[in-house]
Amino acid sequence: MSFKLAIDGGTPVRSEPLPPLLRGALMIGAEEKEAVGRVIDGQAPFRYYGRDLQRYVELLEDRIAHDAGVPYALGVSSGTAALVVALKALGIGYGDKVIVPANTFTATAGAVIVANAVPVYADIDESMNLDPRDLERVYDDEVKAVIAVPINGTPCDMDAITAFARKRGIAVIEDVAQSLGTLYKGRFAGSIGDIGVYSFQMQKILTAGEGGAVVTKDAALFERAVRYHDQGGFRDKARYEIETNEQNGFVGQNYRMNELAGAVLYAQWERLDGIVTAMRQRHRSVRESLATRLPQLKLRQSPDPEGDTGSVFGLFLPDGGAAVRFAQAVEAEGVTCFRMYGGKPIYMTPYLLQKRTAEKGSFPFDYPFRQPVDYAAGMCPAAEQLLARYVHIPISPTLTERDTSDIAEAVVKVYEGLGFS
């Protein structure tokens, strides 16, 4: 091995690129094609009726509910739609606040605002997820829910989050968009809070290009979710033992999943176990190899390492400058290495920081909250510090043994070469 870093003109650890950063998308194959073919042959791309309806969305919902261990699952058009549906099922809207972790994708905060509520940001800990110890600080009696977001396959500390929510009488939403297959103490992430949300966008674990799902144990929440996603209606009364009538209707949206997406996702769902098992195994192999060679490495923590999907290998550098140099140098060695969200908390996104919405005036931020909502740099100091220092290497389920040993090699070479050890 060459000790001169590739970034300084040395020979890179790898000359072949690692597999692209997609999971389910790269496994789309004969099964998806066949299922989609049936929908086309049946001329029935709409989920509720058609010439020869294949009921793929229904089959998918049954699989999701079964594997999540909940009675109800609803396919929707995207993860963002699923978040809005979850918020509206809970009756959250104008005049409400929702706790959002400082580290998440923009859609978590965006969905709260689109639902006419406003986000308040809680800090994170070394799991890179919401720090339950910060919930009390951001809570006031205008807060109606907290959104737990397991980032890139690491579960949230759900015992502490649900204990806090119960004490304060607020709801728990799980935004599991990035983390399908994550377990927390043996329970399927998404099934632990009041309502859980998945995404099937292209970057996620399974995909139909776009798509999402909502899961819950609560029949009343489920009925409201179905109604919000389907123009206020509830068509499938026969399928559920839910007593309902049109008095329960309200103005909804169209966030329905179509049968083509349902067909692809029904076939993709069969691949979930294999993908997660493969990522966990490859994550373990990188971790074990580094544990002996670089025991001082500061790794991302997890409240339940067994339940982690292993979709990324995350670590902390001594400071922000070191993280930038480390990521660039590892990339130069031929190993993909990222900082998350530009190394900044989500509230630093200019339109979120400045409360810019598509609405007139400053709606929904114009609500006369008793405790005003103000955003500023420095709000969540741990998130600012941790995100600056954090980098991760994506772990593909298709990595070979050679690939995982190259990843470990690149980390050791750069960590030592940049003088961090």
Q: Which CB, 13 or 214, lies closer to ligand PLP?
A: 214
Residues 139-168 that bind ligand PLP (CB under 6 A): 149
Considering the complex, what minimum distance in angstroms separates the CB of residue 108 from ligand PLP? 5
Q: What angle do CA 95, 101, 104 make, to 5 degrees?
A: 110
Q: Which of 349, 328, 348, 347 is nearest to 339 (CA)?
A: 328
Q: How far is the CB of 231 from ligand PLP (least distance, A)?
A: 20
Contacts of 253 (CB under 8 A, 6+ apart): 81, 84, 228, 229, 231
- Which among 20-28, 77-85, 292-300, 379-387 is the span making contact with ligand PLP, rule CB under 6 A? 77-85
Distance in angstroms between the alpha carbons of the first and the last residue of the chain: 18
Peptide bond into 364 cis (omega under 30): yes
Are β-strands 143-148 and 171-175 bridged in parallel, bridged antiparallel, or unpaired?
Answer: parallel
Q: Where are the alpha helices (DSSP H) in 14-154?
A: 30-42, 56-68, 79-89, 106-114, 135-138
- DSSP character at residue 14: -
108/154 with CB nearer ligand PLP: 108
Cα separation, 230 vs 46, whole angstroms: 12
- Which residues 178-197 are close enough to bind ligand PLP by CB under 6 A? 178
- Please tell me whether residue 80 binds ligand PLP under the rule CB under 6 A: yes
- Closer residue to ligand PLP (CB): 174 or 223: 174
Residue 189 vs residues 50, 148, 171, 218, 271: alpha-carbon distances, Å: 34, 10, 16, 16, 17
Cβ-contact 104, 128 below 8 angstroms:
no
Smallest distance, Å, CB 104 to ligand PLP? 5
Q: Which of 54, 78, 116, 336 binds ligand PLP (CB under 6 A)?
A: 78
Taking the complex as a whole, how short is the minimal distance between the CB of residue 372 and ligand PLP, in angstroms?
26
**Distance between CA 311 and CA 293 in Å, rounded?**
22
Residue found under tokens 């806090």: 164
Minimum distance from residue 211 beta carbon to ligand PLP (Å): 7
Q: How many Å apart are CA 281 and CA 286, to the nearest integer?
A: 9
Residue 305 CA from chain centroid, whole number:
17
Q: Which stretch binds ligand PLP (CB under 6 A): 31-39, 124-132, 170-178, 291-299?
A: 170-178
Of 212 and 252, the one with the shorter C-beta distance to ligand PLP is 212
Element (H, E) at 272: helix 272-293
Among 201, 207, 216, 336, binds ligand PLP (CB under 6 A): 201
At residue 217, φ and ψ (nearest 5 deg) are: -95, -10
Residues labelled catalytic: 204
| Measured torsion, CA atoms of residues 64, 70, 76, 79, in degrees rounded to the nearest 10 | -90
Stretch binding ligand PLP (CB under 6 A), from 1-9, 174-182, 358-366, 412-420: 174-182
312 counts as binding ligand PLP under rule CB under 6 A: no
Site for ligand PLP in 90-109 (CB under 6 A): 104-105, 107-108
Enumerate residues 212-271 that contact ligand PLP by CB under 6 A: 212
C-beta of 166: minimal distance to ligand PLP in Å? 24
**Which range binds ligand PLP by CB under 6 A, 23-31, 73-81, 241-249, 312-320?**
73-81
Among 24, 79, 181, 345, binds ligand PLP (CB under 6 A): 79
Task: Choose between 78 and 404: whose C-beta lies nearer to ligand PLP.
Answer: 78
Cβ burial of 5 (10 Å; 0-12, 13-18, 19+) is: buried
- Segment interacting with ligand PLP (CB under 6 A) among 75-83, 235-243, 270-278, 297-305: 75-83
User: Which residue sits closest to ligand PLP, CB atoms considered?
Assistant: 79
Q: Is 199 in the site for ligand PLP (CB under 6 A)?
A: yes
Q: Which is nearer to ligand PLP, 309 or 404 (CB)?
A: 309
Q: Closer CB to ligand PLP, residue 188 or residue 326?
A: 188
Structure tokens at 340: 């998350």
Which of residues 201 and 336 has its CB atom nearest to ligand PLP in the complex? 201
Where does this chain bind ligand PLP (CB under 6 A)? 78-80, 104-105, 107-108, 149, 175, 177-178, 199, 201, 212
